[in-house]
Amino acid sequence: MLDVSRVQKELVEIDRDKRISGVSITLHGDDISHLSGTISGPIETPYEGGTFQIDIQLPASYPFEPPKMQFLTKVWHPNISSQNGAICLDILKDQWSPALTLKTALLSLQALLSSPAPDDPQDAVVAQQYNQDYPTFVSTARYWTETFAKRSSLGIEEKVQKLVEMGFPESQVRTALETCGGDENLALEKLC
Amino acid sequence: MADFETSDDDYYGDDSLDGLDQEEDDLLWTPQRTPSSASKVITRASLLAAQREDLKRVTEMLTLKEHHARTLLIHHRWDVERLLAVLVEKGRDRLFTEAGIPILDAAHQASARSTSSIMCNICMEDISPNDVTTMDCGHCFCNDCWTEHFIIKIKEGESRRVRCMAHKCNAICDEAIIRNLVSVKDPEVAERFERFLLESYIEDNGKVKWCPSVPHCGNAIRIDGDSYCEVECTCGLQFCFRCSSEAHSPCSCLMWELWIKKCKDESETVNWLTVHTKPCPKCHKPVEKNGGCNLVTCLCGQYFCWLCGGATGRDHTWTGIAGHSCGRYKSDHNKVAERAKRDLNRYMHYHNRYKAHMDSMKRENKLRETVQATIATSESKDDGFRDYSWVTNGLNRLFRSRRVLSYSYPFAFYMFGDDLFKDDMTEEERQLKQNLFEDQQQQLEVTVERLSKFIEEKFDKLPEDKVKEIRMHIINLTVLVDTCCKNMYECIENDLLGLLQSTTHSIAPYTSKGIERASELSVCPDSDQILNSSKANDDDAHDPSWVSSAPGTDSEPRSEGQVSCASLDDNGCSSRKRAREETLGSLLFDLNLPAEVA
Ligand SMILES: [Zn+2]
Ligand SMILES: [Zn+2]
Ligand SMILES: [Zn+2]
Ligand SMILES: [Zn+2]
Ligand SMILES: [Zn+2]
Ligand SMILES: [Zn+2]
Ligand SMILES: [Zn+2]
């Protein structure tokens, strides 16, 4: 069974210094095995200014087996699938250690954004561009950050639609999103 | 080979008859004479002892604990020589760290013990010092967390290399600690751990392989030399050590694999049908083409064009059908057909001969019984004075050479065909080599058939002088057949495979005495302890749980519920491992724990 006590301790710890660390985790509901992580794009990278959502699934044997993490926010990066957000990172696979935490994992993702490893790619197309045409890579990555990872950006209509589909009145959804700076999770919390 | 009958090339030692000399003791067909062969059978009972032999060598040579020796050996695939080479080349510290053995520092443990309670970094709880364990690497976590970690790793099939839980710590955990902690929580998993460790000696060892018998005899074979060899298990199965299929030399493993596939494949027949028949456009039954022109008639009365298969009328000339133009060129079509036909015929040629010798072998197998019965009655008639070993030797030689002869056809099929070595020889070279080989093959074939004919004689019904004559023929032919086999192998190894430019292709070498029968592993006397502990298992040597661990059960569908097996592939474990694990279930064998723990 999932070590709930440890996960709760981890969540408290993450919450305590989320401002400094730039990573945070929110609960999806009652199910503690399904979490949602957020990392801010590291400065001086094409991801700067972006906020990236990460879906986190904890296997029953967590922390003895690694958490399953996947980018929900679309991102242009050699080690992250541009199609489905799947991540290629050793500590989420065979290099996982039970001594690692969700926080260290998210920080590692942040580090991965700063220093891609194009020789061990998840997305071959991106990796090829990274290796062969770095300037184009940077501008594509930046464009994707602008388009998909900025709170008050174009994505707002999609967020509205998503929340409306969940059964909330459109006017309330818009107000909630506005007061939360476009963060759909915070907005959802407000609406519930 | 012309004058073989007068040749004194005879090995038969009994000089009471014909004064034949014993020339080559080597040729005697007496496998039971071999005192102890280089290859060893490792039974369930001797597995522990076999493993201990190597463990002992390493623990003594390097003065270290047994579990560290095992970690080293697993890391180096039980190759003691390679391990020692690394020791010499890189030094003790490198040898240890690369294999995941921490270079000990006991100070860690002492300091950890002194505090009143310890925070476990995994469950993040404060734990009493009595309930934590510090590994050799110095990392300390609570026993519950260690246990959980061990169980998951064992279930994942990583028993042989359970690493420490600390991030980036490469240390392999102490097997005694794993054993103790896991057996408290889950004895079944603890037993599985034991079995994995033990079987590592077979699974991770280049010189040891499971006998591929089905149902499994329970044995593994350890060889002492080149892995290109054929061995016989004590269960009687002869197999190629390299690919674990039936003994197939002079075919190489690749040739044999291709040949088996080809024989199974119906494609040849399909090929024939597509070349020789076409479906009728009306009733769709295959119609065979007879005669030269391209207008064919189906039994249903439909006329159609052979080239395109389209329905036509019946008026035609040699070059065309009235009112029908499909624009196909007769010559093109024929070329394809010709080639397919040629390929098929070539295959049939080799396959027929291969099959014929296989069938002969089956017939001669029955003959063996008859001959043995004849010998028995003759021996009793002659007051047991006469020795009939010449018949038995001849029979055994006949079997051995029949096999060789049979397998020489698939060999030739690939050696001189286009599948494997097309670019290795020019057409002329190929023709030359083929002639060379076929000379050898034919000589062998003729001699084998002659030997077969003489062995079939009812010598018990014949007068004394006639028997003497037959005896001489058989003795001479037995030697000659052996020589022919030897020559053919030499030709294959030196003139054919040996001269290939782009690839190396190896076969198991020819042995006059036949495929070596592996001998039982003798356990060294100073491991009495182990002997005793494994003797306890002797009684259930035929325990179905062990027998059912047959590699042959590979084909069993993988059961989905078994999480434990799911990642085996990723860990580079063979499918055999998986099969065994499934069939064994919870009926794991009751190994005695190694002495140090018990
Ligand atoms: Zn713990
Ligand atoms: Zn460690
Ligand atoms: Zn066997
Ligand atoms: Zn083979
Ligand atoms: Zn028809
Ligand atoms: Zn005609
Ligand atoms: Zn036509």
Q: Determine the Cα–Cα distance for residues B24 and B21; give it in Å rounded to an integer.
A: 9
For B259-289, what is each residue's pLDDT tens digit? 998 887 755 566 666 667 788 888 888 888 7
Q: Across residues B348-367, what is the average pLDDT?
A: 87
Residue B358 lies in a domain: yes
Q: How confident is the model at residue A162 (pLDDT cuts 50, 70, 90)?
A: confident
Is A133 a residue whose pLDDT tops 50? Answer: yes
Q: Are residues A145 and A160 in the same domain?
A: no
Residues B418 and B481 placed together within one structural domain of the fold: yes
**For B123, which of A3, A91, A100 is closest by C-beta distance?**
A3
Same domain, residue pair A134 and A163: no
Whether residues A135 and A67 fall in one domain: yes
Cβ-based contacts of A97 with chain B (< 8 Å) = 165-169
From the list A149, A166, A160, A165, the residue with the least C-alpha distance to A184 is: A160
Q: Find out whether B541 and B45 touch, Cβ atoms under 8 Å.
A: yes
Using CA atoms, how far apart are residues A122 and A80, in angstroms rounded to an integer? 6
At B40 the pLDDT is 87
Burial (CB count <10 Å: 0-12, 13-18, 19+), residue A22: middle
- Percentage of residues in chain B with pLDDT exceeding 70? 73
Q: Higher model confidence: residue A160 or residue B196?
A: B196
The percent of residues above 90 in pLDDT, for chain B, comes to 24
Q: pLDDT tens digits for A23-66?
A: 999 887 788 899 999 999 999 999 999 999 999 999 999 999 99
Residue B337 DSSP class:
H
Instruction: Give domain status of residue B570, yes or no.
Output: yes
* Confidence band, pLDDT 50/70/90 cuts, at residue B26: very low
CB atoms within 10 A of CB A57: 13
**Which pLDDT score, from 0 to 100, does residue B25 have?**
44
Q: Which ligand lies nearest the alpha carbon of B284? A: 5
Average pLDDT over residues A6-33: 88
Q: Are residues A140 and A160 in the same domain?
A: no
Q: What does the alpha-carbon distance between residue A128 and residue A110 come to, in Å, rounded to a whole number?
A: 21
pLDDT at site B488? 94
| N-term to C-term CA, chain A | 29
3-state SS, residue B209:
strand
Report CB contact under 8 Å: B165, A100: no
Better-predicted residue by pLDDT, B255 or B323: B255
Query: Which of A91, A95, A99 shows the shortest C-beta gap to B122?
Result: A99
Q: Residue type for B107, please?
A: A
Q: Are A110 and A23 in contact (CB under 8 A)?
A: yes
Same domain, residue pair A12 and A101? yes
Quote the mean pLDDT of chain B.
76
- Residues B348-362 have a mean pLDDT of 88
Taking contacts as CB-CB distances below 8 angstroms, the residues of chain B near A4 are none
Contact B123 A97 (CB under 8 A): no
pLDDT at B200: 85
Cα separation, B129 vs B131, in Å, equals: 5
B538 and B440 within one domain:
no
User: In DSSP terms, which residues pair with B209 in a beta bridge?
Assistant: B221
B151 Cα to chain A: minimum distance (Å): 10
Binning pLDDT at 50, 70 and 90, where does residue B164 land?
very high
Distances (CA, A) of B442 to B437, B438, B449, B474, B510: 9, 6, 11, 19, 18
Scan for tokens 């019965």, then name that residue.
B373
| A173 & A137 share domain | no
For residue B242, how far is its CA from the centre of ligand 4 (angstroms)? 5
pTM, full prediction: 0.60
Residues 6 or more apart whose Cβ sits within 8 Å of residue A29: none
In terms of domains, do B167 and B52 share one? yes
On chain A, the residues whose CB falls within 8 A of the CB of B121 are 99
Whole-number mean pLDDT of chain A?
A: 87
Whether residues A90 and A169 share a domain: the answer is no
> What single-letter amino acid sits at B365?
N
**CATH assignment of the domain containing B369:** 1.20.120.1750
Residue range(s) defining the domain that contains residue B154: 47-203
Q: Which pLDDT score is estimated for B23?
A: 42
Residue B576 pLDDT exceeds 80: no
CA of B515 to the centre of ligand 3 (A): 14
Query: Which structural domain, as residue segments, surrounds residue A168?
Result: 156-191
Looking up residue A144, the CATH number of its domain turns out to be 3.10.110.10
Residues of A assigned a catalytic role:
88
Is residue B234's pLDDT more than 70?
yes
Total of domains in chain B: 3
Task: Name the E strands within B161-319.
Answer: 208-210, 220-222, 230-232, 238-240, 277-279, 286-288, 295-297, 303-305, 311-312
| Interchain pair B121, A99: CB under 8 A | yes
The answer to whether residue A72 neighbours chain B at the CB level (below 8 Å) is: no
Residues 6+ apart with CB under 8 A from B268: B262, B344, B347, B348
Point out the ligand nearest to the CA of residue B294. Answer: 6
Identify the bridge partners of residue B133 per DSSP, sorted by sequence position. B141
Q: Which pLDDT does position B570 carry in this prediction?
A: 35
B133 pLDDT above the threshold of 90: yes
Note the pLDDT of residue B532: 37
Give the total number of structural domains in chain A. Answer: 2
Residues of B in contact with A6 (CB under 8 A): 122-124
Nearest to A9 among B124, B152, B165 (CB): B124
For residue B25, the number of C-alpha atoms closer than 13 Å in the C-beta half-sphere is: 2
User: Quick one: tokens of A91?
Assistant: 């500590």
Domain assignment present for B21: yes
Q: Each residue of B445-470: pLDDT tens digit?
A: 999 999 998 988 887 778 888 888 88
Q: Is residue B485 part of a domain?
A: yes
Q: Which residues sit with Cβ closer than 5 angstroms to ligand 6, an ion?
A: B 293
Residue listed under structure tokens 């003790």: B92
B240 belongs to a structural domain: no
pLDDT top residue among B547 and A155: A155
Same domain? For A54 and A14 the reply is yes
Mean pLDDT, rounded, for B221-238:
87
* Lowest mean per-residue pLDDT among A116-130, B24-38, B436-450: B24-38
**Domain co-membership, A122 together with A34:** yes
C-alpha–C-alpha distance, residues B175 and B155, integer Å: 15
Question: How many alpha carbons fall within 13 Å on the CB side of residue A173?
Answer: 16
d(CA B87, CA B103): 15
pLDDT confidence bin for B481, thresholds 50/70/90 = very high
Mean pLDDT over residues B367-386, rounded?
Answer: 75
- Give the span between the Cα atoms of B233 and B395, in whole angstroms: 21
Q: What is the pLDDT of residue B435?
A: 92
DSSP B182: H
Q: Which amino acid is at B371?
A: V
